[in-house]
Amino acid sequence: MKLEVIILAAGQGTRMRSELPKVLHPLASRPLLAHVLETARTLAPLRMHVVVGHGAEQVKEALDAPDITWVLQAEQLGTGHAVLQAMPQVDSDSTVLVLYGDVPLLKPETLAQLTEQAPALLTADLDDPGGYGRVLRDDSGQLQGVVEHKDATEQQRVIAEINTGVLAYPAALLKDYLPRVGNANAQGEYYLPDVLSMAVEAGHCVAALRADSADEVMGINDRSQLAEAETLYRAQQAQALMAAGVSLADPARIDVRGTLECGRDVFIDVNCVFEGRVVLEDGVTVGPNCVLRHCRVGAGSTVHAMSHIDEAELADGCSVGPYARLRSGTHLATGARIGNFVETKKTTIGAGSKVNHLSYVGDATLGKGVNVGAGTITCNYDGINKHPTKLGDEVFIGSNSTLVAPLDVGDGGFVAAGSTVTREIPGDTLAVSRAKQRNIEGWKTPKQRAAADADQ
Protein backbone atom coordinates (compact mmCIF):
# COMPACT_ATOMS: atom_id res chain seq x y z
CA MET A 1 0.00 0.00 0.00
CA LYS A 2 1.29 3.44 -0.94
CA LEU A 3 0.53 5.89 1.87
CA GLU A 4 0.44 9.67 1.63
CA VAL A 5 -0.21 11.85 4.67
CA ILE A 6 -1.99 15.20 4.58
CA ILE A 7 -1.61 17.28 7.73
CA LEU A 8 -3.94 20.24 8.18
CA ALA A 9 -2.08 23.12 9.84
CA ALA A 10 -3.62 26.27 8.37
CA GLY A 11 -5.67 27.53 11.32
CA GLN A 12 -4.86 30.67 13.27
CA GLY A 13 -5.81 29.34 16.69
CA THR A 14 -7.44 32.53 17.96
CA ARG A 15 -8.19 31.01 21.36
CA MET A 16 -4.46 30.71 22.03
CA ARG A 17 -4.38 34.55 22.04
CA SER A 18 -0.90 34.56 20.56
CA GLU A 19 1.05 35.92 17.61
CA LEU A 20 2.57 32.46 17.23
CA PRO A 21 0.71 30.09 14.86
CA LYS A 22 -1.09 27.48 16.94
CA VAL A 23 0.80 24.50 15.50
CA LEU A 24 4.11 26.05 16.64
CA HIS A 25 3.15 26.24 20.29
CA PRO A 26 5.45 23.89 22.21
CA LEU A 27 4.52 20.58 23.75
CA ALA A 28 7.49 19.11 25.65
CA SER A 29 9.64 21.86 24.09
CA ARG A 30 8.76 20.89 20.52
CA PRO A 31 6.07 22.42 18.28
CA LEU A 32 2.73 20.61 18.19
CA LEU A 33 3.19 20.02 14.47
CA ALA A 34 6.60 18.42 15.09
CA HIS A 35 4.93 15.71 17.18
CA VAL A 36 2.43 15.01 14.40
CA LEU A 37 5.19 14.84 11.79
CA GLU A 38 7.21 12.46 13.96
CA THR A 39 4.24 10.13 14.34
CA ALA A 40 3.50 10.26 10.61
CA ARG A 41 7.09 9.36 9.77
CA THR A 42 6.81 6.10 11.73
CA LEU A 43 4.32 4.95 9.06
CA ALA A 44 6.93 5.43 6.30
CA PRO A 45 4.65 7.43 3.97
CA LEU A 46 5.51 8.05 0.34
CA ARG A 47 4.95 11.77 0.88
CA MET A 48 3.79 14.15 3.61
CA HIS A 49 1.75 17.19 2.58
CA VAL A 50 1.35 19.95 5.16
CA VAL A 51 -1.43 22.44 4.46
CA VAL A 52 -0.56 25.87 5.87
CA GLY A 53 -2.34 29.21 5.93
CA HIS A 54 -2.01 31.53 8.91
CA GLY A 55 1.68 32.19 9.55
CA ALA A 56 2.61 29.89 6.67
CA GLU A 57 6.16 31.19 6.25
CA GLN A 58 6.81 31.02 9.97
CA VAL A 59 5.62 27.43 10.11
CA LYS A 60 7.69 26.43 7.09
CA GLU A 61 10.82 28.08 8.47
CA ALA A 62 10.42 26.30 11.81
CA LEU A 63 9.77 22.80 10.47
CA ASP A 64 10.92 22.57 6.85
CA ALA A 65 12.37 19.19 5.91
CA PRO A 66 13.07 17.35 2.64
CA ASP A 67 10.19 14.92 3.17
CA ILE A 68 7.55 17.68 3.51
CA THR A 69 5.52 19.13 0.65
CA TRP A 70 4.04 22.47 1.65
CA VAL A 71 0.57 23.38 0.42
CA LEU A 72 -0.96 26.83 0.84
CA GLN A 73 -4.63 27.24 1.76
CA ALA A 74 -5.02 30.96 1.12
CA GLU A 75 -8.57 31.04 2.50
CA GLN A 76 -9.67 28.83 5.38
CA LEU A 77 -12.95 27.45 4.01
CA GLY A 78 -13.11 24.20 5.97
CA THR A 79 -11.36 20.87 6.27
CA GLY A 80 -12.68 19.55 2.95
CA HIS A 81 -11.36 22.62 1.18
CA ALA A 82 -7.99 22.24 2.92
CA VAL A 83 -7.51 18.62 1.82
CA LEU A 84 -8.63 19.53 -1.70
CA GLN A 85 -5.67 21.95 -2.01
CA ALA A 86 -3.22 19.05 -1.55
CA MET A 87 -4.92 16.51 -3.81
CA PRO A 88 -3.31 17.58 -7.12
CA GLN A 89 0.04 16.39 -5.71
CA VAL A 90 -1.31 13.04 -4.48
CA ASP A 91 -1.06 9.83 -6.52
CA SER A 92 -4.50 8.47 -7.34
CA ASP A 93 -3.52 4.92 -6.44
CA SER A 94 -2.38 5.78 -2.91
CA THR A 95 -4.19 5.81 0.42
CA VAL A 96 -4.48 9.21 2.08
CA LEU A 97 -4.22 9.63 5.84
CA VAL A 98 -5.54 12.97 7.07
CA LEU A 99 -4.06 14.29 10.33
CA TYR A 100 -4.20 17.60 12.18
CA GLY A 101 -1.30 19.76 13.30
CA ASP A 102 -2.92 20.42 16.67
CA VAL A 103 -3.63 16.76 17.57
CA PRO A 104 -0.20 15.64 18.86
CA LEU A 105 -0.88 12.53 20.99
CA LEU A 106 -2.02 10.01 18.37
CA LYS A 107 -0.31 6.63 18.55
CA PRO A 108 1.37 5.14 15.46
CA GLU A 109 -0.32 1.79 16.04
CA THR A 110 -3.76 3.44 15.99
CA LEU A 111 -3.01 5.10 12.66
CA ALA A 112 -1.54 1.94 11.18
CA GLN A 113 -4.75 0.08 12.03
CA LEU A 114 -6.84 2.89 10.55
CA THR A 115 -4.99 2.92 7.22
CA GLU A 116 -5.42 -0.84 6.86
CA GLN A 117 -9.22 -0.38 6.89
CA ALA A 118 -9.50 2.56 4.47
CA PRO A 119 -11.93 4.08 3.87
CA ALA A 120 -12.09 4.52 7.64
CA LEU A 121 -12.75 7.19 10.25
CA LEU A 122 -11.19 7.41 13.71
CA THR A 123 -13.83 8.09 16.37
CA ALA A 124 -13.89 8.47 20.15
CA ASP A 125 -16.41 8.32 22.97
CA LEU A 126 -16.61 11.44 25.12
CA ASP A 127 -18.42 12.04 28.40
CA ASP A 128 -19.20 15.53 27.13
CA PRO A 129 -19.35 15.52 23.32
CA GLY A 130 -20.63 19.10 23.09
CA GLY A 131 -19.23 21.01 20.12
CA TYR A 132 -18.01 17.92 18.27
CA GLY A 133 -19.46 16.30 15.16
CA ARG A 134 -21.43 13.13 15.98
CA VAL A 135 -20.96 9.78 14.28
CA LEU A 136 -24.15 8.40 12.75
CA ARG A 137 -24.60 4.63 12.52
CA ASP A 138 -27.45 2.48 11.23
CA ASP A 139 -29.24 -0.19 13.28
CA SER A 140 -26.50 -2.71 12.48
CA GLY A 141 -23.79 -0.35 13.71
CA GLN A 142 -22.47 0.51 10.26
CA LEU A 143 -21.22 4.08 9.85
CA GLN A 144 -23.54 6.25 7.75
CA GLY A 145 -21.90 9.65 8.13
CA VAL A 146 -21.10 12.55 10.44
CA VAL A 147 -23.23 15.50 11.49
CA GLU A 148 -21.63 18.62 12.93
CA HIS A 149 -22.85 19.78 16.34
CA LYS A 150 -24.43 22.97 15.01
CA ASP A 151 -26.32 21.00 12.37
CA ALA A 152 -27.34 18.13 14.65
CA THR A 153 -30.83 17.53 16.01
CA GLU A 154 -31.41 17.25 19.76
CA GLN A 155 -31.62 13.47 19.37
CA GLN A 156 -28.32 13.36 17.50
CA ARG A 157 -26.61 15.52 20.11
CA VAL A 158 -27.18 12.79 22.68
CA ILE A 159 -24.73 10.56 20.76
CA ALA A 160 -21.44 10.24 22.68
CA GLU A 161 -19.34 8.96 19.75
CA ILE A 162 -17.61 11.88 18.04
CA ASN A 163 -15.73 12.48 14.82
CA THR A 164 -12.02 13.08 15.44
CA GLY A 165 -11.49 14.26 11.86
CA VAL A 166 -8.70 11.72 11.38
CA LEU A 167 -9.46 9.45 8.45
CA ALA A 168 -7.85 7.15 5.91
CA TYR A 169 -9.29 7.22 2.40
CA PRO A 170 -8.42 5.98 -1.08
CA ALA A 171 -7.00 8.92 -3.01
CA ALA A 172 -9.05 8.11 -6.12
CA LEU A 173 -12.29 8.42 -4.17
CA LEU A 174 -11.17 11.66 -2.53
CA LYS A 175 -10.40 13.16 -5.91
CA ASP A 176 -13.87 12.17 -7.04
CA TYR A 177 -15.84 13.28 -3.97
CA LEU A 178 -14.08 16.39 -2.64
CA PRO A 179 -14.95 18.70 -5.56
CA ARG A 180 -18.62 17.77 -4.99
CA VAL A 181 -18.69 18.60 -1.27
CA GLY A 182 -20.99 21.56 -0.61
CA ASN A 183 -21.10 24.17 2.15
CA ALA A 184 -24.85 24.29 2.88
CA ASN A 185 -24.41 24.08 6.65
CA ALA A 186 -24.46 26.30 9.71
CA GLN A 187 -20.76 27.17 9.34
CA GLY A 188 -20.82 27.70 5.59
CA GLU A 189 -17.72 25.48 5.30
CA TYR A 190 -16.71 22.52 3.17
CA TYR A 191 -16.58 19.61 5.62
CA LEU A 192 -14.21 16.74 4.97
CA PRO A 193 -16.45 14.16 6.74
CA ASP A 194 -19.05 14.64 3.99
CA VAL A 195 -16.96 12.30 1.84
CA LEU A 196 -17.86 9.49 4.27
CA SER A 197 -21.59 9.65 3.60
CA MET A 198 -20.87 10.03 -0.11
CA ALA A 199 -18.90 6.79 -0.03
CA VAL A 200 -21.72 5.01 1.84
CA GLU A 201 -24.24 6.24 -0.71
CA ALA A 202 -22.01 4.88 -3.48
CA GLY A 203 -22.08 1.45 -1.84
CA HIS A 204 -18.69 1.48 -0.13
CA CYS A 205 -18.30 0.10 3.39
CA VAL A 206 -16.71 2.75 5.63
CA ALA A 207 -15.07 1.51 8.82
CA ALA A 208 -15.29 3.43 12.10
CA LEU A 209 -12.40 2.72 14.45
CA ARG A 210 -12.80 3.85 18.06
CA ALA A 211 -9.66 5.24 19.70
CA ASP A 212 -8.62 3.46 22.89
CA SER A 213 -8.79 6.74 24.80
CA ALA A 214 -10.20 10.19 24.22
CA ASP A 215 -6.84 11.55 25.40
CA GLU A 216 -5.18 10.19 22.27
CA VAL A 217 -7.32 12.29 19.93
CA MET A 218 -7.29 15.45 22.03
CA GLY A 219 -7.00 18.63 19.98
CA ILE A 220 -5.27 21.76 21.29
CA ASN A 221 -7.35 24.93 21.01
CA ASP A 222 -6.32 27.00 24.05
CA ARG A 223 -3.66 27.29 26.73
CA SER A 224 -5.60 25.13 29.16
CA GLN A 225 -5.77 22.24 26.69
CA LEU A 226 -2.08 22.69 25.93
CA ALA A 227 -1.26 22.34 29.63
CA GLU A 228 -3.50 19.26 29.84
CA ALA A 229 -1.72 17.71 26.85
CA GLU A 230 1.63 18.42 28.52
CA THR A 231 0.49 16.47 31.58
CA LEU A 232 -0.73 13.58 29.43
CA TYR A 233 2.50 13.51 27.45
CA ARG A 234 4.63 13.42 30.60
CA ALA A 235 2.52 10.55 31.95
CA GLN A 236 2.98 8.61 28.71
CA GLN A 237 6.74 9.07 28.84
CA ALA A 238 6.88 8.03 32.49
CA GLN A 239 4.87 4.87 31.85
CA ALA A 240 7.08 3.93 28.92
CA LEU A 241 10.24 4.40 31.00
CA MET A 242 8.93 2.30 33.88
CA ALA A 243 7.81 -0.41 31.45
CA ALA A 244 11.42 -0.47 30.20
CA GLY A 245 12.71 -1.01 33.76
CA VAL A 246 13.54 2.55 34.89
CA SER A 247 12.79 3.46 38.52
CA LEU A 248 11.15 6.86 38.96
CA ALA A 249 10.88 8.42 42.40
CA ASP A 250 7.60 10.03 41.29
CA PRO A 251 6.20 9.35 37.80
CA ALA A 252 4.27 12.63 37.96
CA ARG A 253 7.48 14.63 38.33
CA ILE A 254 9.63 13.85 35.32
CA ASP A 255 9.75 15.92 32.15
CA VAL A 256 11.07 14.33 28.94
CA ARG A 257 11.38 16.95 26.17
CA GLY A 258 13.06 14.81 23.56
CA THR A 259 14.26 11.21 23.64
CA LEU A 260 15.50 9.49 26.78
CA GLU A 261 17.23 6.11 26.35
CA CYS A 262 17.91 4.17 29.55
CA GLY A 263 19.80 0.99 30.35
CA ARG A 264 19.06 -1.40 33.20
CA ASP A 265 18.60 -0.33 36.82
CA VAL A 266 18.49 3.41 36.16
CA PHE A 267 17.03 5.57 38.95
CA ILE A 268 15.65 9.08 38.35
CA ASP A 269 14.65 11.28 41.27
CA VAL A 270 11.97 14.00 41.21
CA ASN A 271 11.72 17.11 39.02
CA CYS A 272 14.32 16.11 36.44
CA VAL A 273 14.16 17.54 32.91
CA PHE A 274 15.59 15.75 29.88
CA GLU A 275 15.96 17.72 26.64
CA GLY A 276 17.09 16.58 23.20
CA ARG A 277 18.70 13.14 23.04
CA VAL A 278 19.84 11.84 26.41
CA VAL A 279 21.33 8.40 27.06
CA LEU A 280 21.61 6.96 30.58
CA GLU A 281 23.52 3.70 30.62
CA ASP A 282 23.15 0.82 33.11
CA GLY A 283 23.04 1.71 36.79
CA VAL A 284 22.96 5.49 36.39
CA THR A 285 21.43 7.53 39.22
CA VAL A 286 20.10 11.04 38.60
CA GLY A 287 19.36 13.10 41.70
CA PRO A 288 16.49 15.57 42.14
CA ASN A 289 16.03 18.78 40.14
CA CYS A 290 18.63 18.03 37.45
CA VAL A 291 18.54 19.16 33.83
CA LEU A 292 20.22 16.93 31.23
CA ARG A 293 20.38 18.03 27.59
CA HIS A 294 21.94 16.25 24.59
CA CYS A 295 24.26 14.13 26.72
CA ARG A 296 25.39 10.60 27.51
CA VAL A 297 25.98 9.35 31.05
CA GLY A 298 28.08 6.21 31.37
CA ALA A 299 27.28 3.10 33.37
CA GLY A 300 27.36 3.40 37.15
CA SER A 301 27.66 7.19 37.11
CA THR A 302 25.80 9.49 39.50
CA VAL A 303 24.47 12.95 38.77
CA HIS A 304 23.76 14.57 42.11
CA ALA A 305 21.02 17.09 42.88
CA MET A 306 20.60 20.43 41.10
CA SER A 307 23.15 19.70 38.37
CA HIS A 308 22.98 20.78 34.72
CA ILE A 309 24.62 18.70 31.99
CA ASP A 310 24.48 20.22 28.51
CA GLU A 311 26.05 18.57 25.44
CA ALA A 312 28.54 16.64 27.57
CA GLU A 313 29.65 13.02 27.75
CA LEU A 314 30.42 11.03 30.89
CA ALA A 315 32.24 7.69 30.86
CA ASP A 316 31.55 4.92 33.38
CA GLY A 317 31.68 5.51 37.12
CA CYS A 318 31.69 9.30 37.07
CA SER A 319 30.23 11.58 39.74
CA VAL A 320 28.83 15.05 39.09
CA GLY A 321 27.47 17.59 41.54
CA PRO A 322 25.55 18.59 43.47
CA TYR A 323 25.06 22.03 41.93
CA ALA A 324 27.44 21.41 39.03
CA ARG A 325 27.22 22.71 35.49
CA LEU A 326 28.83 20.79 32.63
CA ARG A 327 28.63 22.84 29.44
CA SER A 328 29.09 21.98 25.79
CA GLY A 329 32.19 19.98 24.92
CA THR A 330 32.83 18.52 28.35
CA HIS A 331 34.14 14.93 28.36
CA LEU A 332 34.69 12.98 31.56
CA ALA A 333 36.81 9.81 31.45
CA THR A 334 36.20 6.79 33.69
CA GLY A 335 35.89 7.64 37.36
CA ALA A 336 36.21 11.41 36.97
CA ARG A 337 34.57 13.56 39.62
CA ILE A 338 33.00 17.01 39.33
CA GLY A 339 31.92 18.47 42.67
CA ASN A 340 29.62 21.17 43.98
CA PHE A 341 29.45 24.57 42.30
CA VAL A 342 31.89 23.58 39.55
CA GLU A 343 31.47 24.72 35.96
CA THR A 344 33.23 23.17 32.97
CA LYS A 345 33.21 24.05 29.28
CA LYS A 346 34.97 22.44 26.30
CA THR A 347 37.09 20.40 28.69
CA THR A 348 38.36 16.83 28.80
CA ILE A 349 38.93 15.43 32.27
CA GLY A 350 41.04 12.28 32.52
CA ALA A 351 40.37 9.05 34.34
CA GLY A 352 40.16 9.44 38.10
CA SER A 353 40.68 13.20 38.00
CA LYS A 354 38.78 15.50 40.36
CA VAL A 355 37.49 19.06 40.26
CA ASN A 356 35.63 19.05 43.52
CA HIS A 357 34.64 22.53 44.69
CA LEU A 358 33.78 26.02 43.47
CA SER A 359 35.94 26.01 40.34
CA TYR A 360 35.72 26.97 36.67
CA VAL A 361 37.61 24.89 34.09
CA GLY A 362 37.24 25.91 30.45
CA ASP A 363 39.10 25.05 27.21
CA ALA A 364 41.23 22.62 29.18
CA THR A 365 42.63 19.10 29.00
CA LEU A 366 43.31 17.26 32.24
CA GLY A 367 45.27 14.03 32.32
CA LYS A 368 44.81 11.08 34.67
CA GLY A 369 44.69 11.45 38.44
CA VAL A 370 44.61 15.26 38.45
CA ASN A 371 43.35 17.12 41.52
CA VAL A 372 42.02 20.66 41.08
CA GLY A 373 41.56 22.43 44.40
CA ALA A 374 38.65 24.59 45.47
CA GLY A 375 38.28 28.02 43.93
CA THR A 376 40.54 27.35 40.94
CA ILE A 377 39.91 29.26 37.72
CA THR A 378 41.28 28.74 34.22
CA CYS A 379 41.55 32.20 32.69
CA ASN A 380 40.92 31.09 29.12
CA TYR A 381 39.52 34.27 27.52
CA ASP A 382 41.55 37.41 26.81
CA GLY A 383 38.62 39.42 25.50
CA ILE A 384 39.10 38.29 21.91
CA ASN A 385 40.31 34.69 21.80
CA LYS A 386 39.99 31.53 23.89
CA HIS A 387 43.22 29.83 24.98
CA PRO A 388 43.87 26.27 26.17
CA THR A 389 45.13 24.93 29.48
CA LYS A 390 46.80 21.51 29.59
CA LEU A 391 47.42 19.65 32.84
CA GLY A 392 49.40 16.42 32.59
CA ASP A 393 48.90 13.24 34.60
CA GLU A 394 48.95 13.41 38.40
CA VAL A 395 49.01 17.22 38.47
CA PHE A 396 47.96 18.86 41.75
CA ILE A 397 46.45 22.34 41.68
CA GLY A 398 46.18 23.94 45.11
CA SER A 399 43.07 25.80 46.20
CA ASN A 400 42.31 29.33 45.02
CA SER A 401 44.74 29.15 42.11
CA THR A 402 44.47 31.16 38.90
CA LEU A 403 45.72 29.44 35.75
CA VAL A 404 46.26 32.02 33.00
CA ALA A 405 46.02 30.38 29.57
CA PRO A 406 47.71 29.40 27.37
CA LEU A 407 49.36 27.21 29.96
CA ASP A 408 50.97 23.75 30.18
CA VAL A 409 51.64 21.93 33.43
CA GLY A 410 53.76 18.79 33.02
CA ASP A 411 53.11 15.38 34.57
CA GLY A 412 53.38 15.52 38.35
CA GLY A 413 53.43 19.33 38.42
CA PHE A 414 52.28 21.01 41.62
CA VAL A 415 50.79 24.48 42.03
CA ALA A 416 50.81 25.91 45.53
CA ALA A 417 47.51 27.23 46.90
CA GLY A 418 46.73 30.84 46.11
CA SER A 419 49.09 31.06 43.13
CA THR A 420 48.57 32.94 39.90
CA VAL A 421 50.35 30.93 37.23
CA THR A 422 51.27 32.54 33.90
CA ARG A 423 54.18 30.39 32.67
CA GLU A 424 54.72 26.76 31.79
CA ILE A 425 55.43 24.40 34.70
CA PRO A 426 57.70 21.45 33.89
CA GLY A 427 56.88 18.00 35.19
CA ASP A 428 57.53 17.18 38.86
CA THR A 429 57.97 20.87 39.66
CA LEU A 430 56.36 23.06 42.33
CA ALA A 431 55.15 26.51 41.25
CA VAL A 432 54.54 29.22 43.85
CA SER A 433 53.34 32.64 42.77
CA ARG A 434 52.01 34.80 45.59
CA ALA A 435 52.25 38.39 46.75
CA LYS A 436 54.64 38.81 49.72
CA GLN A 437 52.77 38.79 53.01
CA ARG A 438 53.09 41.78 55.35
CA ASN A 439 51.79 41.92 58.95
CA ILE A 440 50.91 45.43 60.14
CA GLU A 441 50.88 45.73 63.91
CA GLY A 442 48.31 47.88 65.69
CA TRP A 443 45.97 47.82 62.70
CA LYS A 444 42.57 49.44 63.26
CA THR A 445 39.54 48.96 61.10
CA PRO A 446 37.89 52.04 59.51
CA LYS A 447 35.10 51.70 62.06
CA GLN A 448 37.60 51.70 64.93
CA ARG A 449 39.42 54.73 63.49
CA ALA A 450 36.17 56.63 63.10
CA ALA A 451 35.27 55.91 66.71
CA ALA A 452 38.68 57.11 67.88
CA ASP A 453 38.35 60.34 65.89
CA ALA A 454 34.93 60.95 67.41
CA ASP A 455 36.33 60.59 70.96
CA GLN A 456 38.87 63.31 70.22
Strand, helix or coil at 236? helix
127-133 long-range contacts (CB < 8 A, ≥24 apart) are 127/160, 129/157, 129/159, 129/160, 129/161, 129/162, 130/157, 132/162, 132/163, 133/162, 133/163, 133/191, 133/193
Annotated active-site residue 387? The verdict is no
Euclidean distance between the first and final Cα of the chain, in Å? Answer: 102
Instruction: Please say whether the beta carbons of 258 and 131 come within 8 A.
Output: no
Distance separating alpha carbons of residues 71 and 81, to the nearest angstrom = 12
Q: Considering 54, 149, 294, 357, which one is annotated as catalytic?
A: 357
Distance separating alpha carbons of residues 115 and 184, to the nearest angstrom = 29
Which amino acid is present at 258?
Answer: G
Distance separating alpha carbons of residues 214 and 208, to the nearest angstrom = 15
Q: Which residues pair with residue 4 across a beta bridge? A: 47, 96
Q: What is the DSSP letter of 117?
A: T
User: Helices marked H in 11-107 — which ranges?
Assistant: 32-41, 56-63, 79-86
Reference 237, options 216, 252, 249; nearest CA is 252
Q: Which residues are catalytic?
A: 357
